[in-house]
A and B are shown apart, each in its own frame.
Chain A
Amino acid sequence: MFAGRAVSAFTLLTALLSAVASADTPTPASQEQVVKISAKRFEYSPNVIKVKVNTPVVLELTTLDRLHGFTVPDLKLEAEIKPGEVTRVRFVPQKTGTFAFHCNVFCGSGHEDMTGELVVTD
């Protein structure tokens, strides 16, 4: 009983500490916050993403034109968005706040404006 609780506590702690995108631990679909984001030169839609803290998030990224990138440097999230594919980024936000994201695959004049915000709330 004690060992079982310890394992559960360890698992929970591990999950809470793993802020980096991961698809290793299956999470019941009902608990996931799924956010669809489409990219095209030189914008994301939506460009403001709101999620809850300590609740698993799945970002489903697609592109309408060409290869783009998606990175949230403060959360160490990074992915390439390839044409014709859905790129899934899974993570558990550990803290509240507003975190900037941007395209990190140069895509032309205006690339610098391809930005957005991830807002994590209680």
Chain B
Amino acid sequence: MDFKSHNRREFLQLLGTGVGGAVFASGLGGCASAPAKPGGNDDFYFVQLSDTHWGFQGPPNPEAAVTLKKTVGLVNALQRQPDFIVFTGDLTHTTDDGDVRRKRMAEFNQIVGGLNVKKIRFMAGEHDASLDAGKAFQEFFGELHYTFDHKGVHFIVLDNVSDPAAAIGAPQLSWLKADLDKLNVEQPIVVLTHRPLFPLYPSWDWTTKDGDAALALLERFQHVTVFYGHIHQEHHQMTGRIAHHSAKSLIFPLPAPGSVPKRTPVPWDPAHPNQGLGYRGVGALAARDYKIDEFTIA
């Protein structure tokens, strides 16, 4: 498998798109950057929020109790309201106490209930699901892996966290294969998951044990894009013809892969609160290209 890592500038150059601000197109449909056609029959827009870690307390984010609430207000104020919103895992910060976990999930649900857009898809992160195999998560948010379709795009939610060893597992891979076997190779596919499916940086556990098996199943399709979280920062990489985009966190940023000896949170800067935190809007253009808007928490 061919892993090509690109920083943001290189990725933009690769795609042949402008560097203007925080907008660029994802690699689908031969990386063509088609102009946006708001209101077109096949166009749609969704928002990705990730790694909110509700319940976290600590110096890396002294405003942790308000960051998620503030984000809800920012998303509600977006000029273009999304068709739906996805949360790509670590909705809550982990705890050994099952009652506390459920309390955090209930509080999280109450806060995101303030989003104007009510169509929300949830994914689990290891903080939500690894200590109880996803039991509490399923009580509040439903299935750990599932599919849905929207305006010609087939969305696949993969669970690589309810196994604490970060594996998708044979049963889910069989389910994935059965789902993909029903599709034409030209079917546009978006995979939503928490951990990177490729070995981004295994020394920091930024990988999925059997992610290569999932990617092998997806590789024959012509239009596959993966949106994920876990690493608390933007990262863009191609594996073969599959594009992978990680999202910023809404609790604290982590260092770039391997840039420092330990993956400790980037310290909170009182002069620049919320620096490194953010979310993204994704414009799907005729189910072929994705135009990504990166938003900060100002």
Bound-state Cα–Cα, A120 to B144, Å = 42
B10-37, CB < 8 A from A:
none
Question: Contact: A104 with B205, CB < 8 Å?
Answer: yes
Question: Contact: A112 with B165, CB < 8 Å?
Answer: no
Contact with A along B194-210 (1 / 0, CB 8 A): 00000000111100010
A72 smallest CB distance to B (angstroms): 9
B101 smallest CB distance to A (angstroms): 11
A59 smallest CB distance to B (angstroms): 18
Q: Is B51's beta carbon under 8 Å from chain A?
A: no
Closest chain A residue, CB of each to CB of B131: A108
By a CB distance below 8 angstroms, the chain B residues around A115 are 262
By a CB distance below 8 angstroms, the chain B residues around A100 are 203
By a CB distance below 8 angstroms, the chain A residues around B94 are 106, 108-109
A108 smallest CB distance to B (angstroms): 6
Contact with A along B84-96 (1 / 0, CB 8 A): 0000000001111
Interface size on B, residues (CB 8 A): 20
By a CB distance below 8 angstroms, the chain B residues around A107 are 164
**Consensus secondary structure, chain B interface:** loop
Contact with A along B25-53 (1 / 0, CB 8 A): 00000000000000000000000000000
A69-85, CB < 8 A from B:
69, 71, 73-74, 80
- Taking residues whose C-beta sits less than 8 angstroms from the other chain, chain A's interface range is 10 to 19
Question: Contact: B165 with A80, CB < 8 Å?
Answer: yes
Bound-state Cα–Cα, A107 to B164, Å = 8
| Residue in B131, B165, B204 whose beta carbon sits within 8 Å of that of A69 in the complex | B165
Question: Contact: A106 with B126, CB < 8 Å?
Answer: yes
By a CB distance below 8 angstroms, the chain B residues around A102 are 203-205
Question: Contact: A104 with B96, CB < 8 Å?
Answer: no
Given the known inter-chain contacts A73-B203, A74-B203, A100-B203, please indicate yes or no for A106 contacting B96, CB distance below 8 A.
no
Closest chain B residue, CB of each to CB of A69: B165
By a CB distance below 8 angstroms, the chain A residues around B204 are 102
Bound-state Cα–Cα, A104 to B160, Å = 13
By a CB distance below 8 angstroms, the chain A residues around B165 are 69, 80, 104-106
Q: Give me 28 A-to-B residue pairs in the complex whose CB atoms sit less than 8 angstroms apart, sorted by A's number.
A: A69-B165, A71-B202, A73-B202, A73-B203, A74-B203, A80-B165, A100-B203, A102-B204, A102-B205, A104-B205, A105-B165, A106-B94, A106-B126, A106-B130, A106-B131, A106-B161, A106-B165, A106-B166, A108-B94, A108-B96, A108-B131, A109-B93, A109-B94, A109-B95, A109-B127, A112-B205, A112-B264, A113-B262
Closest 7 CB pairs of A and B: A106-B130, A73-B202, A106-B164, A106-B126, A105-B164, A73-B203, A109-B94
Given contacts A74-B203, A108-B96, 17 further A-B contacts (CB under 8 A): A67-B164, A73-B202, A73-B203, A102-B203, A102-B205, A104-B165, A104-B166, A104-B205, A104-B209, A105-B165, A106-B131, A106-B164, A108-B94, A109-B94, A109-B95, A112-B205, A112-B263
